[in-house]
Amino acid sequence: MGTVYAALTDDGARVAVKVIHPVQAGDPEFRARFRREVRLSARVQGPFLLPLLAADPDADAPWLATAYAPGPTLAQHLAAHGPLSEGTLYAFATGTAQALAAIHAAGVVHRDVKPQNVLLTPAGPRVLDFGIAHAADGTSVTRTGILTGTPGWISPEHYRDGVTAAEGDLFAWGALVAHAATGRLPFGSGAPEAVAYRVLSGEPDLDGVPDALREILERALAKEPAERPDAAEAADTCARLLAAQSTQLLADDKAVEEGDALPSAGELVTALWSVPAPEDPSWPVPAPVPAAKPSRRRAVVAVVVAAAVVGAAVGGLLAFRQDGSGGDSAAGAGTTASRGAGGSGAGGSGAGAARSPSGVSDAEATGPAVTDPRAVPVPADPLAGVADPAFTRADDEAQPVPGEWGASRYATGAAERKAAADIVDEVTAMLTTKDMSFMEPTVTFNRRAQTVMVTGGPISTLTDDYKEVFRRASEMAACTTLAHRLKDAPSSWPYGRFSVYWKDYDGQDEATILGFGRATTGCYSEEAGQRQGTDEGIVTAELPSSDRDEIRVAGDTVEAITAAWDTRVAEGHGLEPFDHDDAITLGFDPVDKMVYVWALDGSGVLSGRAQQSHFQDVVTTTACPRLLAEYKRDKRWNYTHWTVAAYQGNSAWPQLFTSGDCLPAESRP
């Protein structure tokens, strides 16, 4: 949604300021949702929450400020220290349930209860992020038909009917406490569809949860909403369990006499809470600024400080580049690296050992050299017509199973080392164009599973959108590399499956799986042999590029398309101009090697098929000559495929009109 800054008020108090991304701020639907978020958040008061202090949803750059609390998220704590136990676990369950009770009492539903949205502060847990909260009365500006929340933390009724209510928060709370107690995801990991199936029809994994907590968690995780307790009942039950823990602990220390009254639940949470103290360095005080007229838009003076707020503020993370500096990458401002730059190594063990050099020499490369690798097609069915291939799982749709990653090993032999090096180089080349090359992949092999593993991490401050780009890049690099190997050596190359993992800490026994697939079913999204744009692709294309050639081509092409559209409008044809000058944007998806051109069409200029056809014609006749000129000039330039799209009305999601290829049919691989 934007960037969260560490900041100081005029009197020196620490706060966290969420500043909305300009793309979101320009969307009227999002502004309406954000304005509502501010209004609802102001209604929520209670313990174990971070209060809203100030906000301006109507500013050019909308923002809100909450109290600041130091500490890691639950996800970060589990990765670094393992599960919660004893009094701390009961205090966590009590505090988070009381936070939800306060949220629900204000008529609000959180809708995104998960480990990343709970801080473990020195004073107890704090529930964060009302970024997608809405009133429980059923009115909402959220579009229908869109699934909100995070897989594994979504209730069965939301999967079935799209229902978002307080009962769904309790389901997620039950999963959250179970996760805190065991360190495991109660419904497992894997593809979102697989997790959804387990939520809908499977039983949660509660092994290791203390018996005293199991009953309330089992009720909270009931498939039917009516069978779950409300947040107040869950908080009361957990407070009683916490009091029992307190009585036992205090009695052991002979610090309580018979008849003594126990402290309140809030005091008990603080008394029994025990987590490692977070690093909390002092914040630099800004230099005095000249006096100015009072303004509600200047309630805080934002001061970015390195690392102090990462993971410790409302709902977002300040993404750090490799040099350790924070902030969003702007076009042309990030570090530029040439395409095709290889990684520094290709090895890696599933259990988290250090990376090793690939050690691949030119003599070890397999297959003939080609003048232009772009002319070599990726085999869509590399084993077609092969009677007895070494890869025997081409028709096996089973998901990866626990243990496969931990049993994987470094590459051995020239063929495996070359494949590992190719995958690392491809992933690095794709990530470099988005200033993400710090996410260095490691590649390992599991011969028994006939699977190649690509692993990233550990990077504790990384946001989910970065991991999504890593997943897509790793899947594409592994798929294309394996497809070529299967085509070139079907009787000897045994690997046709690939899995992408994220390692949360060194020495991890089982990394988190991000995605998987087979190289025998095609690597690109295609219809009738024509590569198609995707929702995932345009999301990646919207990320700022750090490649100078991409920035140059994008700027020149957008300017030319805008001028060509204005000319087309002036000629007649029943067309209207866009409602602002910078309505047209172009971005690159290095994963699918696709150029996306889209318009922010708030006034419905492209509402009809005829108008869309005109826009597509203007885009292709203007962009293709420029893309082809770059393709001929630079053999590293991969972009000839295009997709045309538009954000229509107040929609936060694009409509993809059509896709195509600038290369003539006879020149395509």
Angle between helices 231-252 and 166-182 (to 10 degrees): 30
**Catalytic one of 10, 27, 60, 112:** 112
Beta strands in 46-93 (DSSP E): 52-56, 63-67
First to last CA, the chain: 39
Confidence of residue 566 (pLDDT cuts 50, 70, 90): very high
Domains annotated on the chain, with CATH: 2-68+280-302 (3.30.200.20), 76-272 (1.10.510.10), 362-523 (no CATH), 535-667 (3.30.70)
Would you state the structure tokens that stand for residue 572, as one six-digit string?
């007649």
Residues 190-217, mean pLDDT to the nearest whole number? 88
The answer to whether residue 151 scores a pLDDT higher than 60 is yes
Q: Are 417 and 364 in contact (CB under 8 A)?
A: yes
Pairing outcome for strands 497-502 and 451-456? parallel
Query: Is the bond leading into 458 cis (omega within 30 degrees of zero)?
Result: yes
Q: Among 131-145, 269-283, 547-561, which stretch is predicted with the lowest mean pLDDT? A: 131-145
Assess whether pLDDT exceeds 50 at residue 322.
no
Distances from the Cα of 318 to the Cα of 17, 388, 614, angstroms: 11, 52, 41
Q: Phi/psi of residue 118, each to 5°? A: -130, 120
Across all residues in the chain, what is the average pLDDT?
79
Tell me the percentage of the chain whose pLDDT exceeds 90. 42
pLDDT of residue 371: 65
Determine whether 207 is an active site residue.
no
Enter the pTM of the model: 0.50
pLDDT, tens digit, 9 for 90 and up, residues 603-660: 888 988 899 999 999 999 999 999 999 999 998 899 999 999 998 877 778 899 999 9
- Alpha carbon separation from 409 to 272, 348, 405, 525 (Å, rounded): 43, 7, 9, 31
Q: How confident is the model at residue 352 (pLDDT cuts 50, 70, 90)?
A: very low
Mean pLDDT of the 84-102 span: 93
Give the pLDDT of residue 306. 26
With beta carbons less than 8 A apart as the criterion, state whether 498 and 454 touch: yes
CB 421 within 8 A of CB 430: no
pLDDT at 572 over 90: no
Answer yes or no: are the C-beta atoms of 630 and 640 closer than 8 Å: no
Q: Reduce the DSSP state of residue 123 to 3 states and report it.
A: coil
> Rounded mean pLDDT of 62-84?
88
